[in-house]
Each structure stands twice: as C-alpha cells, then as structure tokens.
C-alpha cells in the first residue's frame, strides 16, 4: 500500500518534471491524492525523512503528504517516532544536541531547511502545542498571547489588543477570560492553559498547528473543548495531532497515519483506517492485539 503510494508519487513527479525546467524546485501539486481530498492542496510534505538521536535511528524514510485545512492524526505505540516526526516539521528536532536529520520537509513548495528560511519563522508558521500546557506562568494572560508579537517588535497597544481578542476568540477562551486578562497564565485551569497556548500560537502568522498529545493531561470536559476547537480551527489551519487516544484520533481527524518502529505503516482517510485498515499491523494496533 505504502509502496504503491510512493510509486504513484514518483510517477506523478516524473510527469511534471519537464514543465519545471531544470527541476530546481520540486512541484507537489500533482502528487498522489487520497480519495475524497481531490481539491485539497498539499500543505506540508515529508520527503524521505530519516532522523537520529546519537547513534539511534528514530525515523526511517518517512514520506508523507499533509493536506491543507485537514486534521491529520498520527498514532502508534510509545517510541514509534511520532513525536520525533512532528518535531521535524517545525525544526525542533535539530534543537536536541545529538540529533541528526536527512531528507527534506516542504512547507507549501519551499523546503523548511532552505537557507532562506529562518528556523524562528518556520516555528512561527508551524506552531506547536505540547502535552503539558506551557504558558509563561508569571506572565498575564494578555502578555502570554502577545509575547510572540512583542518579540517581533510590535508595540502598538491597539494592534496588540486586537490580536489578543481575536486569538482568544479563535481559541474559544475569550468569553472565559475577557474580564481577567491581567491574571497570571498559571492561574487558569489545565484546559484553559492549553487553549491559551493555542491562542499564543494563533497570534502569530500561523499556518500549521502541531499538537503533541494536547489532551492527555486534561479531563474529559476540557478534552472535548479542545477537540471542539480543533474542529473549528480546521476551517483555517492545517493541523497535525499526535495522540495515544484512538477514539480521539477517530473523532477529530480526516486522515490518520499509523507509525511503528520509526516507519510510516499506513496513511489514509481516518474512516478507512478505523473501519477497514489495509495493513495487518494497523489492524492489530487499533484493535489492541499488538505483538
């Protein structure tokens, strides 16, 4: 299945090469398309991604198209490389001292590793929300949201006010905090802190939101609020979520990718993966009959 997809990908690329002249930039518009997503462009693309921590290889030739304005869930057992993969997507992998990386990752049609790309800009366009909410504990709610803009030198009070309201509204937090914007970020509940982190990511010119187990530290009510929010954000953003909760993957995503031992085993429409997966390993994992 994966091989088939890779093969089709190759053929598709071959077809467009003559048009791109020297082939200096790879075209991705004609890449393989999963059923039901014919109109969605590829937002991010992992191309033969391998990653190491010291001597240990964590990812093996991962090829993956992430379509825009869709939620892609990455599932797999602990240590399968799913967090490593999404940390590659915004160049956080390279912040680990012993980390190595080969292959390429495209954002739109540009490589995020190209010399023109500033890693800081990449991380602004491809934001990340972590398992444990990470607001700046002593900063106020207001300052937490605009911290990115301030670092970029935005000082205009009116602009900042607007961004705060807009981002908090988008993160479905505004109604709960609009009267206490000066309270410390740490004073919020876990679920609210997580949504504050999402608002902080939205305040800059975000395009892709990476979420690494965003709900595993939250109670069911906060979880459902975050899931609802993911659903809303999908209208405007591309989202990649790593989760151990299979029901969550099934609920929130349109595409599901299953990883095992650093390899991408299956990547298909969520409905297909959870009702009739193509690969026996996927079937065994999601039905809990692993190993």
Residues lying near other proteins in the complex (CB under 8 A):
246-247, 250, 274-277, 282-283, 286-289
| Closer Cβ to other proteins, 262 or 277, answer by number | 277
Between the CA of residue 72 and those of 21, 214, 218, 240, what are the distances in Å?
A: 33, 14, 21, 5
The DSSP annotation for 189-229 comes to -HHHHHHHHHHHHHHS---EEEEESTTTTS-HHHHHHHHHH
Cβ distance to other proteins smaller for residue 182 or 247: 247
- Rounded to whole angstroms, how far apart are CA atoms 75 and 242? 6
Cβ neighbours of residue 108 under 8 Å, at least 6 residues apart? Answer: 43
Q: C-beta of 272: minimal distance to other proteins in Å?
A: 9
Q: How far is the CB of 54 from other proteins (least distance, A)?
A: 35
Contacts of residue 2, Cβ cutoff 8 Å, sequence gap at least 6: 264, 265, 266, 267
Q: Which is nearer to other proteins, 74 or 149 (CB)?
A: 74
Residue 1 CB, nearest distance to other proteins (Å)? Answer: 14
Q: How far is the CB of 37 from other proteins (least distance, A)?
A: 20
Min dist CB 270 to other proteins, Å, is: 11
CB of 32 to other proteins, least distance (A): 22
Do the beta carbons of residue 19 and residue 13 sit within 8 Å? Answer: no
Closest to other proteins by CB, 189 or 224: 224
CA distance linking residue 1 with residue 3, whole number of Å: 5
Least CB distance to other proteins at residue 286 (A): 4
Burial of 150 (0-12, 13-18, 19+ CB in 10 A): exposed
Rg (CA), the chain: 19
Q: Name which of 182 and 275 has its Cβ closer to other proteins.
A: 275
- For 75, half-sphere exposure in the C-beta direction (CA atoms, 13 angstrom radius) is 28
Closer residue to other proteins in complex, CB, 71/171: 71
Nearer to other proteins, 158 or 289 (CB): 289
């Amino acid at each position: 299945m994966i091989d088939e997809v890779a093969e089709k990908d190759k053929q598709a690329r071959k077809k467009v090469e003559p048009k791109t002249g020297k082939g200096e930039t790879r075209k991705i518009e004609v890449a393989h398309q999963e059923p039901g997503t014919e109109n969605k462009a590829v937002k991010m693309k992992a191309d033969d991604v391998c990653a190491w921590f010291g001597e240990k290889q964590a990812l093996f030739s991962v090829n993956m198209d992430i379509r825009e304005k869709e939620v892609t869930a990455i599932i797999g057992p602990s240590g399968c490389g799913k967090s490593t993969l999404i940390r590659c997507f915004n160049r956080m992998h390279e912040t680990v001292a012993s980390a190595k990386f080969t292959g390429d990752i495209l954002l739109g049609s540009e490589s995020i590793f190209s010399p023109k790309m500033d890693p800081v800009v990449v991380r602004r366009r491809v934001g990340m929300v972590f398992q444990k909410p990470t607001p700046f504990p002593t900063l106020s709610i207001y300052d937490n949201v605009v911290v990115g803009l301030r670092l970029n030198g935005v000082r205009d009070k009116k602009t900042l006010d607007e961004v705060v309201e807009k981002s908090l509204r988008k993160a479905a937090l505004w109604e709960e905090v609009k009267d206490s914007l000066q309270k410390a970020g740490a004073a919020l509940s876990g679920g609210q802190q997580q949504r504050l982190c999402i608002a902080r990511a939205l305040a800059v010119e975000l395009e892709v939101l990476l979420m690494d187990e965003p709900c595993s530290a939250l109670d069911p009510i906060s979880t459902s609020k975050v899931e609802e929010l993911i659903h809303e954000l999908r209208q405007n953003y591309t989202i990649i979520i790593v989760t151990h909760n299979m029901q969550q993957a099934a609920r929130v995503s349109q595409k599901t990718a299953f990883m095992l031992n650093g390899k991408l085993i299956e990547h298909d429409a969520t409905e297909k993966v959870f009702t009739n997966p193509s690969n026996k390993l996927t079937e065994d994992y999601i039905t809990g009959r692993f190993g």
